Structure 1
Amino acid sequence: MSAEDDVVGDGRPEASSDQEPRYEPSPGVGKLLGWVLVFVLAAIVVVLGGVYFT
């Protein structure tokens, strides 16, 4: 049985009688903070590049 066999038509995992549906856990605070810092750094680079080239 493959992973595709466990998914119902709308993409949710199928709940069988002996096990609960399994979902991916939410990202941790550190990972979220890392992405926020990446986007802030990218925004600073774009703004400073625009100031430098004008």
Structure 2
Amino acid sequence: MTAREPAAGEAVPGRELPSNADAPAANADAPAASGDESGQPRYEPAPGVGKLLLWVLLFVLAAVVVVVGGVYFG
């Protein structure tokens, strides 16, 4: 029989949950980032074609460097 993980906020035997009654809210003045007025979550816009191509070329260059280094030094 295996022990299950306690759910978030569930008491663990032998441990007390910390009391946050005295602590101020961490981001009390920060706006909520849950979404816009319609309730839809906000997402980052997709990268442009040029930026995406630059990342692909960077990873291809890194792969070539690894392969050439392995052949030369291996």
Query: TM tier, shorter chain?
Result: 0.5 to 0.7
Residues paired across the two proteins, number: 45
2:70 corresponds to: 50
Q: How far is 1:37 from its partner?
A: 0.2
1:25 corresponds to: 45
Structure 2: gaps of 5 or more residues: 1-28
Could you tell me how far apart the structure 2 residues matched to 1:21 and 1:49 are?
A: 45
1:16 corresponds to: 37
One-letter amino acid of the structure 1 residue matched with residue 37 of structure 2: S
TM value normalised by structure 1? 0.63
Q: How far is 1:21 from its partner?
A: 6.5
RMSD: 2.3
**Identity over aligned pairs, percent:** 64
Q: How far is 1:50 from its partner?
A: 0.3
Highest relative contact order (Cα 8 Å, sep 6+), 1 or 2?
Answer: 1
Could you tell me how far apart the structure 2 residues matched to 1:21 and 1:46 are?
A: 40
Structure 1: gaps of 5 or more residues: none
Runs of 4+ aligned residues of structure 1 deviating over 6 Å after TM superposition are none
Indicate the structure (1 or 2) with the bigger Cα radius of gyration: 2
TM value normalised by structure 2? 0.49
